[in-house]
Amino acid sequence: MTEEIAVASPRLVCASPAQLEAVLAKFTGRILGVLAYAATRPEWPAGEVPCTWVTLPVLTGEAWYEVWVSTRAVAVSRDSGLSFSHDGGLLFGSLVLGDADAGQIDRKAFAAYSAIFDVLDRMGYPELLRVWNYFPDINGADRGMERYREFNVGRYEAFCRKGRAIGDGMVPAACALGTRQGTLVVCFLAGRAPGIYIENPRQTNAYLYPSDFGPRSPTFSRGVLVGDALLVSGTASIVGSKTMHPGDVLRQLDETLENLRVVVAQARARGFATSDPAGLSLNVYLRHATDYPVVRGRLDAEFGGARIAFLQADVCRTDLLVEIEAFWMPIP
């Protein structure tokens, strides 16, 4: 059992621009991929390492790099427009589709997820574990429907058409945020074996949301255990399926933190044992940059020792002001 966990667990190293070169050198041959968050195109590492730029302002002022690392040697590949690396147990990749601000985001979501599922099946990594979704004008409207709801339609249809079941213990952890770029960016982690998918008893499972939230519910779980790593989905001030405390960022933050605590507790009941706060990383998405000082003060007090990125982004509901995703695993 110990050997399986060692093989199947990703690792995450966060880096500033000044630290990136040293991090990449340290983990040469074991890097699954790099997510770079910055308002303008950042510096890219040389070589074949798959890198994906997400156009979001970093509220501390400089680019933020997430370097996803394997415990094994990796191979780098491209297929059907996807860039990815794989290690025999995990596959990490990305797909970027242009003109995502030109309407019909449902078709682009369907195309992206269909391509991802096809490649995963061909490569022998059928279990989609975690997904990051970024596209422009997430709260805008196309053809009379909010673009996030349109996106959910396309994502759902891809799951169905490609034979993926939607239900308890079957859907990946995920986030979906609005960016300033004109592309749909989908990054993903997949495995040869399924993870342990986590739900939150305080919240309605997202794939069971009522029709008030669109013709197709969002297709994600609240978190996933991948070996000894816990990957928590974008988490916000939602109880049941209802937004709590509209207009009050600090009360929303407190509700969000309670939801995070519950997800971690559920994961511990399923075997998650990591406790070192230095292995915890948070991405904090704020709708309004002016909320950064008070939110940072609260989170610095709550999570001493954790690595925290503060990013300005549109959250998937217009009445949500803050969303947090968490990654907690041993330090590589």
41-79: pLDDT as tens digits: 998 876 788 899 999 999 999 999 999 999 999 999 999
- Among the ranges given (6-10, 94-98, 296-300), the one the predictor scored with the smallest mean pLDDT: 6-10
* H-only helix segments in 27-126: 105-123
| Dist. CA 281–CA 296, nearest whole Å | 14
Sign of torsion over alpha carbons 7, 123, 15, 313: negative
Instruction: Return the number of other C-beta atoms located less than 10 Å from residue 104's C-beta.
Output: 15
pLDDT at 303 over 80: yes
Which residues are CB-neighbours of 107 under 8 A, at least 6 positions away?
154
| pLDDT value, residue 278 | 95
What is the band of 8 on the pLDDT scale with cuts at 50, 70, 90?
confident
Catalytic residue ranges: 323
**Residues above pLDDT 70, as percent of the chain:** 97
What is the residue-averaged pLDDT of the chain?
Answer: 94
Q: Any idea what DSSP says for residue 221? A: B
Give the chain's domain count: 1
CA atoms within 13 A on the CB side of 195: 31
CA proximity to 51, closest of 77, 32, 72: 32
Domain of residue 121: give its range: 2-328
CA proximity to 185, closest of 139, 135, 146: 135
Per-residue burial over 275-313, b = 16 or more CB atoms within 10 Å of its CB, e = otherwise: eeeebbbbbbbbbeeebbeebbeebeeebeebbbbbbbb
Which CATH number characterizes residue 182's domain? Answer: 3.30.1330.40
pLDDT at 4 over 50: no
What is the band of 80 on the pLDDT scale with cuts at 50, 70, 90?
confident
Number of residues written out for the chain: 332
Helix (H) / strand (E) containing 294 = helix 292-302
| Dist. CA 250–CA 264, nearest whole Å | 21
